[in-house]
Chain A
Amino acid sequence: MGTNTHFPDPSVVREELIQKYPAKVAKKRAKSIIINDPQIIPEVQANVRTVPGIITQRGCSYAGCKGVVLGPTRDIVNIVHGPIGCSFYAWMTRRNQTRTESLTDANYIPYCFSTDMQEENVVFGGEKKLKQAIQEAYDLFHPKSIAIFSTCPVGLIGDDVHAASKEMREKFGDCNVFGFSCEGYRGVSQSAGHHIANNGVFKHMVGRDNTPTEGKFKLNLLGEYNIGGDAFEIERIFEKAGLTLISSFSGNSTISQLENSHMADLNVIQCHRSINYMGDMMETKYGIPWMKVSFVGAESSAKSLRKIAEYFDDDELRAQVEAVIAEEMPKVKAVIDEILPRTTGKTAMLFVGGSRAHHYQDLFTELGMTTVAAGYEFAHRDDYEGRDVLPTIKIDADSKNIEELKVLPDPELYNPRKTEAELEALKEKGLEINGYSGMMQQMTKKSLVVDDLSHYESEKLIEIYKPDIFCAGIKEKYVVQKMGVPLKQLHSYDYGGPYTGFEGAVNFYKDIDRMVNNPVWKLIKAPWQKTGATNGKSKGLEATYVTQ
């Protein structure tokens, strides 16, 4: 199996990928197809419009807001204001697992709520129906909170979901009702919806409950959505290490946890793309620094734990973290040692998400596999090139429309958890505070980086590189597999997981071993289709035909 050197010149590959496009499209796509150099990271065009007609992996703002960020919190009644489809398609399809403490605790995740907007609502306005729906949800369930999500027609007909929410919130008194203007046409992908969701969660939930929580090392886990139980595994590790998780944003979370999250002393960010706004805003308002971590990969998990211990600068915690790593690693090692001979030297491609295409490269490295090409579906330049490029990112018409909250230090609650001097000292120890250096610094020279990969480009890449595994989502799954290449879904994990932490790493190793070595890929050709096969026309058949 190949390493990078077996492949054609990446600049030739790039030409191949764009040659079929109309000239204008080719010019545009060329800026998003980049040959990597980890030393001098080139600029990647990202977070720009997809050309209409291009078969893209991307979804919409509503998907990023309701589907990704708000969906996993179990005790909010999420009402989608719009025609039925939007709520229907986001109904449990993202596998956000959640575990209530008792059998009677609120959990609305298995439910789908919609105003099922009809033609008369589009013509005459839907606010009345929306308020009626909120009232009915309140009367039926008495939830702590109701969130309203706007779909495309809502913004166009001018329904004011925020005013309706406010009116109902004031009417109820004991139910926090708030809305999101996350119409699908906002921005260029799910990413706009993440930002809109961050703003809403920050405005309407974070900071509402100042009750101090017991615990010496208190932190929030941002950008972890508990797909396949990922958050459960991280929670297990945190507990073992003596870390107190106040809230996750938002896998396996509750409203109370989010409302109390500003009492933490550190925010660790896993999915940078979807939640970095929250890290910045909480830093400004409450003085909580954030740190990029990744619990995808056994080594990354160990490294992230050590970084957290270093941040809290406590010897007891350092010792505890080392004890956890020492206990967990041998189990991981036993598995990888057995698997490694079967996966070493194989190649992977990852085109997914806004962070996963970076994180999962660590797991492939642990499997001895090379990532030959990777890219995100909806990331921005900072996710590729690192946050240093933030000041140079041009604000275009599409991003301008997404609100940037003006955040100021809270007059009472602002409390810098670290002094400037302490932060400096941490940086000197190599801790990246409020920073992220992106995917490309970790990828090899001459690997390909492609933003917003199109269907056409994916087929070309597979033809050229013949990777041993391709990582993407459900829409790509069976296309790629029809080409005889296994596809690992990195949104839904093909209904497996968890893949985080130590236990997750073991799950992933086993799954990838199973997939790249599955006998089914050798069964595709029927015996009569193989080279040298005669397909019933052999002389032998004639010779043996007469038997009596």
Chain B
Amino acid sequence: MLLRHTSKEVKVREGLTINPAKTCQPIGAMYAALGIHGCLPHSHGSQGCCSYHRSTLTRHYKEPVMAATSSFTEGASVFGGQANLLTAIETIFSVYDPDIIAVHSTCLSETIGDDLQQITRKAKDDGKVPEGKRVIFASTPSFIGSHVTGYANMVTGIAEQFAVSTGVKKNQINIIAGWMEPSDMREIKRLAKELGVNIVLFPDTSDVLDAPQTGKHEFYPKGGTTIPELESIGDSRHTLALGSISAEPAAIALEKKCKVPFETLEVPIGLTATDRFIMALSEIGGVSVPDEITAERGRLVDVIADMEQYFYGKRVALFGDPDQLVPLTEFLLDLNMKPVHIVSGTPGQRFEKTMREILDTRSPETNFKNGIGADMFLLHQWMKNEPVDLLIGNTYGKYMARDEDVPFIRFGFPILDRIGHSYFPNVGYSGGLRLVEKILTALLDRQDRDALEEKFELVM
């Protein structure tokens, strides 16, 4: 057994987190900033932060992840990091020539109280920011929230610091991407195009973290939301925030600054969440849903109906981030499956409230927990007490899956040992089809593996 020290007996822990179902804010900020065109994320802290975040994102995407660091030493930690950040800004513009530097803080710079707004303003005042270039920032202390919070904070920073209200409304809708893959962002854009709605999607990591092999390294790949697009979001007619934790804070900030009304939806994972997304986009965009999208939906429903016997009653444990887990849970219920245990390390009462709403009528006995104490060690203990047929979560789940001999689907962040997430979406009806295929393959492969010879089926 790999996790041989995990006992069945659950004891409340107040000090020790074991096998976390979350990581820290700055990596989320770095990921979000990669979704702006021509932007270099900058980590204001020790070198290790930047190195770890780049490494983790690189392992997840198998792509270049460029970011710089303030390279704090003990002196900077005592006297403050202003000098380091000013040097960094100057160095970055001369050597790497980005259009934008997106600075995020770390636990180190937050603990010593560095004020990013003040330092970035000073950089501008001191002439360290070339004409037409931008330095934006987000406060992302690692000791609050999780990587999802960091993503939300950087997206909020993007909205607040770019949006301009010219007084002339544009015929466009903002879609704020909650934490999702480049493939998902690409799919959101495709669906909007099918619908005929003019959108600005931000951030947008498609064509950044799924860049083609060309024989040339593009330091600033072709993707990412551009500065003119980001400046225009203040004039958009409406905002759709996809994800109450990772996207809504930016929508609130934008409403406050530029009076753009917003609506928050789930990340459109699964059938009903996608239905709500399509409905909202068609209503706000004033367009009718084209037949092609209705047909896409029909294909997903068709597969669910055709294969319903294999889903029914299957017990699932899942862990990950709130904005993904909520629609995924809903989708599992739509598939007639049984979410049994759900864990997210990201704190916040919103998750609990939404989960309650989803589960109360359809599966009130489901165990779920988020925030402090909600780690994979607890999830594993729950699984030992009430076994499941399927585990869904990030790569770290493979250790539990192997020990408990449970089929496993990789979903969420990070996925370090398989590819596909950057290229094939989980959102939309086609994403739903992909999830359905994955679930079926995992369950049917297991049935094939375990079937007695006389019960081994040709047709399934």
Contact = CB atoms under 8 A, between A and B. Distances in A.
Contacts of A184: 45-49, 72, 108
B91 A116 contact: no
A113 interface: yes
B208 to A, nearest CB: 12
A156 B63 CA distance: 35
Contact of A51 (B16, B76, B87): B87
Interface in B81-97: 84-85, 87-92, 94-96
Nearest to A51: B91
Nearest to A62: B48
A106 B2 CA distance: 10
A52 B52 contact: no
A157 interface: yes
Nearest to B19: A112
A476 to B, nearest CB: 9
A contact residues, range: 35 or more
A525 B52 CA distance: 33
Contacts of A483: 215-217
A482 interface: yes
A151 B46 CA distance: 10
A133 B15 contact: yes
B56 A112 contact: no
A119 interface: yes
Residue of B1, B27, B51, B55 contacting most chain A CB atoms (<10 Å): B51
A141 B14 contact: no
A456 B48 contact: no
A85 to B, nearest CB: 3
Contacts of A49: 71, 73
A156 B48 contact: no
Interface in A41-99: 49-63, 79, 82-91, 93
B95 A21 contact: yes
Contacts of A477: 58, 62
Given A52-B85, A474-B59, 5 more contacts: A53-B95, A55-B68, A63-B48, A152-B111, A482-B218
A54 B84 CA distance: 11
Interface in B1-39: 1-5, 7, 11, 13-20, 22-27
A83 to B, nearest CB: 4
Most buried by A among B46, B63, B94: B46
A16 interface: no
A55 B7 contact: no
A364 B147 CA distance: 41
Contacts of B329: none
B102 to A, nearest CB: 13
Contact of B16 (A110, A113, A454, A484): A113
Nearest to A112: B19
B417 to A, nearest CB: 9
Residue among B75, B146, B215 with most chain A CB within 10 A: B215
B45 to A, nearest CB: 7
Contact of B18 (A113, A117, A135): A113
A401 B87 contact: no
B65 A475 contact: yes
A480 B215 CA distance: 9
A80 B248 CA distance: 32
A137 interface: yes
Interface of B: 1-5, 7, 11, 13-20, 22-27, 42, 45-49, 51-56, 58-59, 62-77, 84-85, 87-92, 94-96, 106-108, 111-112, 141-144, 146-147, 211, 213-218, 345, 372, 377, 396, 399
Most central of B22, B77, B85, B216 by chain A CB within 10 Å:
B77
Contacts of B106: 152
B71 A136 contact: no
B91 A25 contact: yes
A398 interface: yes
A122 B17 contact: no
Contacts of A186: 73-74
Contacts of A60: 46-49, 51
Contacts of A57: 51
Contact of B215 (A82, A107, A484): A484
A151 B107 CA distance: 9
Given A89-B52, A157-B111, A152 B45 contact: yes
Interface in A118-137: 118-119, 121-122, 129-137
A537 interface: no
Contact of A482 (B51, B70, B77, B217): B217
Contact of B4 (A84, A86, A104, A397): A104
A101 B53 CA distance: 35
A482 B68 contact: no
A140 interface: yes
Contacts of B89: 53
B216 A85 contact: no
A153 interface: yes
B55 to A, nearest CB: 5
A88 B59 CA distance: 14
A478 interface: yes
A59 B47 contact: yes
A186 B47 CA distance: 10
A411 to B, nearest CB: 36
B120 to A, nearest CB: 14
Given A85-B26, A185-B72, A189-B47, A133 B85 contact: no
Given A84-B23, A85-B49, A185 B108 contact: yes
B69 to A, nearest CB: 7
B396 A91 contact: yes
Nearest to B6: A111
A456 to B, nearest CB: 5
B15 A475 contact: no
B306 to A, nearest CB: 38
15 contacts: A52-B88, A56-B51, A59-B52, A83-B107, A88-B22, A117-B107, A122-B107, A137-B16, A140-B7, A151-B107, A153-B111, A184-B46, A474-B58, A475-B54, A482-B215
Interface string A197-208: 000000000000
Nearest to B150: A85
B64 A89 contact: no
Nearest to A525: B215
Q: Which of B20, B65, B95, B218: most chain A CB closer than 10 A?
A: B95
A152 B77 contact: yes
Contacts of B26: 85
Interface string A466-485: 00000001110111111110
A547 to B, nearest CB: 32
